[in-house]
Structure 1
Amino acid sequence: MIQTFKDRGIIAVISGFSGAGKGTIMKQLVSRYDRYRLSVSMTTREPRTGEVDGKEYFFVEEEAFLKLVEEDGLIEHANYVGHFYGTPKKFVEEQLEAGKDVLLEIEIQGALQIKKKFPESLLIFVTPPSVEELERRLRGRGTETEEVIQSRIHRAQEEAKGMLSYDYILVNDQVDACVVQMHEVIQAAKCEGWRRKDLADQILRELEEK
């Protein structure tokens, strides 16, 4: 029986300014390519119009969130604009073992936690083509108060300081082009030698058994 090499998935952490289009790009990746899976994050914030519990996020009370933190049930967690966000561990591990690439939409603080725990993970930062476009997108949502918009702009100033911690920075000027670019970046990164140590070890092991 011919034994093929097992292809473990990779964690691709997608961050970016609020309004950068991260969610849209990730959903397009999942719909176009079968190998991607979206990790559903958990949050203590209120759902926006149209958001469904268990689809966009798992919406929970702060007490339940903090209990899961204590039980080590999250691979990362952070506070963003007054609300907690985190990534449930079990789903991510199952998908990686199945050879699927898991997309996580996480802010910078959480992204760096992921990189520390999973050095082979890939960090990608998405930005609009200009600050003016960023502000236009935030206001175009029509769902947030001026106070919240200003809070997100202030937060973007802090996020910009961490952009160089990422492996790649992609400019989302046109969604379709950015989707293709992100797919190419992720698949190319998976082939880097140091990320294929398990594969190289497996090949060497099987050759030595001949």
Structure 2
Amino acid sequence: MKIILAEDQAMLRGALSALLDMEDDIEVIGEAENGEQALAMTLELEPDICILDIEMPHLSGLEVAERLKSDGSPCRIVILTTFSRVGYFQRAMRAGVRGFLLKDSPIGELAAALRTVHEGGRAVSPALALTFWEAENPLTEREREVLKLAAEGLQASDIAKRLHLTAGTVRNYLSEAFQKLEAKNRIDAIAIAGKNGWLD
């Protein structure tokens, strides 16, 4: 199978590429140091699988996955991350990502996951699967929307205008979000939701 590897840390990218190339059935045909490169390379070289880091310059791994899906690319996507954020995982699933693995997984586990994905299956690191199972996003779509605008610094009256709601309704949504997140205030709620990837 032909692989493209996108990772902004050169040393890690080089090590992963060398280790994967040692597998008989895996060939790394391209390495990208940012999201834009990864997208262009995937569209040009048409690999079987593109391994994407989540946090990269220019475009994140999730943005690349979303672009490839909207372009109808047949390339299968595997996300490699240090972040066990539920929101990231949910967004990745919506973008059609087939694998979600931790960067510190043993190379044998990564190679096995790539084979599973290549054969049409899905692969999620057991440690991540447990975290995601335990931590579903408690916010409704509207609560998330309101909190996201609050995170941009908008006051209740501004959020109300933006979403065509009353200021009282916006305050109710914020209050519900604070309770669900067990947050002390707006800043606390934004921090908790952001850390878990629930505002993405």
TM-score in same-fold range (> 0.5) = no
Q: What's the TM-score, normalizing by structure 1?
A: 0.28
TM-score, length of structure 2 as denominator length: 0.29
| Structure number having the greater helix percentage | 2
More strand by share: 1
